[in-house]
Amino acid sequence: MKAGKRVGVADYLLDTTVLIDHLHGRQDVIVLVSDLVQQGNRLGVCCVNVAELYSGLGEEERVRADRLIATL
């Protein structure tokens, strides 16, 4: 493996609350997540967080949640 190359491990695992707040447009959370990405950090989620995010969402929110999860 090349020196400096990172494989498969996220620097930050996002909590369900962060995902929900991001989905609902909370600006401080959006800025935090964007800053982490711009700093070169890899963000991740676990299957429990994804299941919690999707539970109780309506169809329109599910589409937005799909886009959010796809970017991680």
The residues spanned by each domain of the chain are 12-71
CA-closest candidate to residue 20, choices 59, 54, 71, 63: 54
Whole-structure pTM over 0.85, yes or no?
A: no
Whole-number mean pLDDT of the chain? Answer: 90
Q: pLDDT by residue (tens digit) across 14-29? A: 999 999 999 999 999 9
Please identify which residue in the block is written with the tokens 């890899």.
Answer: 42
CA-closest candidate to residue 44, choices 10, 20, 2, 19: 10
Residue predicted with more confidence, 28 or 10 = 28
Residue predicted with more confidence, 5 or 70 = 70
